[in-house]
Structure 1
Amino acid sequence: MGVMAGTAVPDLDEVTEIEAAPPTSWQTVVWNDPVNLMSYVVHVFRTYFGFDADTAHRLMLSVHHDGHAVVARGPRELMELHAQAMHEFGLWATVRKDVE
């Protein structure tokens, strides 16, 4: 291909990279409730998310002591599916933007 007369070709050193904005990440947050046993919350975390026993226990303790725990991060649609699944297990869960 040739360069048409009158068109300037930028010097490669002058070309700046354009970076796409990072995709917005979301969180699924499980909240403490007065109903579910700690052992049941661990069971749900292991069954649904596939966490190992230590991770599930640590997240459950965060829910119990801190009032909530972030159990997943990712695209909004997936986090909404996780929150709905937690509701089906009887847990309180919400979706929020990741604060990173």
Structure 2
Amino acid sequence: MTYVTHVFMVIFGYSKEKATELMLKVHNEGRATVSSGTREEMERDVQRLHEYGLWATLQRDDEF
């Protein structure tokens, strides 16, 4: 789980506390929103997570 925290810090610039919080949410609930933005930005973020060996998906948020 430390690796996931590290990846969130590197890719998204999260503090250790925020990255750990998101990692625990993924661990306990199976998912967490770790990034938001345009479709192109999210596709890039998913690709970056895949490059680190993490499983990630893109989901549209219909609340806007």
Query: In which range does the TM-score fall when normalised by the shorter chain?
Result: over 0.9
Q: Which blocks of at least 5 consecutive residues in structure 1 are unaligned?
A: 1-37
TM-score of the aligned structures, taking structure 2 as reference length: 0.94
Percent sequence identity over aligned pairs: 51
- Equivalent residue number for residue 18 of structure 2: 55
In the TM superposition, 1:14-93 aligns within 5 A as 38-93=1-56
- Equivalent residue number for residue 31 of structure 1: none
Identify the structure with bigger relative contact order (alpha carbons < 8 Å, sequence gap 6+). 1
RMSD: 0.8
| Larger Rg over CA atoms | 1
Structure with a larger share of its residues in helix: 2
- Equivalent residue number for residue 98 of structure 1: 61
Q: Which blocks of at least 5 consecutive residues in structure 2 are unaligned?
A: none
Give, in angstroms, the shift of residue 65 of structure 1: 0.0
Secondary structure (helix, strand or coil) at the match of 1:94 reads coil
CA distance in 1 between counterparts of 2:3 and 2:34 reads 15
Q: Is the 8 A contact 1:73 1:98 kept in 2?
A: no
